[in-house]
Amino acid sequence: MVGYPTKKVKHENKGLYLGNKGMSFEDEINQSNEFYLVHDKAVIHKKPTPIQIVKTEYPARSKTRITEAYFVTPSTTDYNGIYKGKYIDFEAKQIASKVSFPFAFIHTHQVNHLRSVIKHGGIGFVLLRFTHYQETYLIDANALIEKYDNPNVKSLTYEWVKENGKFVPTGYRPLLDYLKAVDELYFKGE
Amino acid sequence: MVGYPTKKVKHENKGLYLGNKGMSFEDEINQSNEFYLVHDKAVIHKKPTPIQIVKTEYPARSKTRITEAYFVTPSTTDYNGIYKGKYIDFEAKQIASKVSFPFAFIHTHQVNHLRSVIKHGGIGFVLLRFTHYQETYLIDANALIEKYDNPNVKSLTYEWVKENGKFVPTGYRPLLDYLKAVDELYFKGE
């Protein structure tokens, strides 16, 4: 129980593949969702990180303390909600690579979850950030799945993403206006 | 750090107001959702319990261990997903009382979240179980909110729930067929 290095964790929703830079990408999305919510544009929330609780303590006159717990693999994507009456579901990923996003960085059951979402009439996508270029793209789940299901394809190249993804504009409010990309891709006729 | 009573927690998603009986209500819903998912009827998941992580350890050759964390108040409802192309969002509550469900048992921001869901064209409700009667009812969010916003009303009486809620049938598979109640209430014409 002692002797291990300990580390303060500032934020509640630490992504599994995301370091400090990831926190800020996640913060950008969360702040954008807050902006959308406050301005009545959409109701989209990040799901809490799934954690398996092993031990809890009940200190007198104090709130329940969890003293042993572990991160577990999420069974769905991180974000979902409703926009213009439609169910919206997406995963956010960032990558330091200049050339590609390897599929190893997304869980199979997350891809399968997006499959189900599409099948049931929802909008599904991945928000993909290339940190080197500081660029974020929205990749429609159908396009992602087509690549993912191809046994010869192990990653999405930056060039492919640039060509097939929707560029997500950044700004002041919201920080990351990904619903603009959603509008262009899924609500073009409206 | 020592001296407090410790307790093994079996399940990951412990509801804040739910004891052992609550676990089984939650399990019934989770198993029903699993049934709906496997049979391609709906994609509805419970959100993980939100937890604030304070300390983690990185034991050598082992997965990250969370050594200090606390439950935090959820900002949304526990369940959401997609059914027949529609966004679905609900909270599940159970009560031991024979006479009423007090509003003190639902968070204001959960009610406000349901408000937003309706406003954006989603389906919102509460699944309410009276454990004494072993009966579960679906209460449409609009009906709930009307009562909740009335300063003279502090609870939903069992009689009112029986009259205004949709009875949720129980069975073998799924254990709790709440989508049947959803069909009757929201998809009557289909």
Helix (H) or strand (E) holding A7, with range, is strand A6-8
B65: which strand partners? A70, B57
Q: What are the distances in angstroms from CA B130 to CA A31, A62, A158, B30, B127? A: 38, 30, 55, 18, 10
Mark yes or no for CB contact A53/B84 under 8 Å.
Answer: no
Residues 6-25 of A with CB under 8 A from B: 6-9, 12, 14
Q: Spell out where A84-153 has E strands.
A: 86-95, 100-102, 123-130, 135-140
Taking only the tens place, the pLDDT of each residue in A59-70 is 888 899 999 999
Residue type, B172: Y
Segment A110-129 mean pLDDT? 97
Mark yes or no for CB contact B9/A54 under 8 Å.
Answer: yes
Taking only the tens place, the pLDDT of each residue in A13-27 is 333 333 334 448 999
More confident site: A131 or B17: A131
Q: Spell out where B24-152 has E strands.
A: 42-46, 51-57, 65-71, 79-83, 86-95, 100-102, 123-130, 135-140
**Looking at residue B8, what is its pLDDT?**
43
In this structure, what is the dihedral angle of CA atoms A108, B34, B36, B106, given to the nearest 10 degrees? -110
Q: Which residues neighbour B55 within 8 Å (Cβ) at sequence distance 6 or greater?
A: A6, A7, A8, A9, B66, B67, B68, B69
Closest CA to A78 of A123, A14, A21: A14
Q: Is B56 on the interface with A (CB under 8 A)?
A: yes
Closest CA to A47 of A75, A78, A88: A78
Spatial distance between the Cα atoms of A69 and A66, rounded to a whole number of angstroms: 7
Do the strands A166-167 and B6-8 form a parallel or antiparallel pair, or are they unpaired?
Answer: unpaired
Residues 143-162 of B with CB under 8 A from A: none
Taking only the tens place, the pLDDT of each residue in B170-189 is 988 899 999 999 999 999 98
Spatial distance between the Cα atoms of A135 and A158, rounded to a whole number of angstroms: 10
User: Whole-model pTM?
Assistant: 0.85
Segment A112-134 mean pLDDT? 97
**Dihedral of alpha carbons A186, A189, B120, B37, sign:** negative
Q: What is the DSSP letter of A95?
A: E
Angle at CA B33, nearest 5°, toward A111 and B23?
Answer: 120
ipTM of this complex prediction, to 2 decimal places: 0.84
Distance from the Cα of residue B68 to its chain's centroid: 26
* Helix (H/G/I), strand (E/B), else coil: A155: strand
Mean of the per-residue pLDDT values for chain A?
89
Residues 79-118 of A with CB under 8 A from B: 80-87, 89, 113, 116-117
Q: Is B47 on the interface with A (CB under 8 A)?
A: yes
Largest interatomic CA distance in chain A = 61
pLDDT-based confidence at A12, cuts 50/70/90? very low
Identify all chain A residues contacting B81, using CB atoms and an 8 Å cutoff.
80, 87
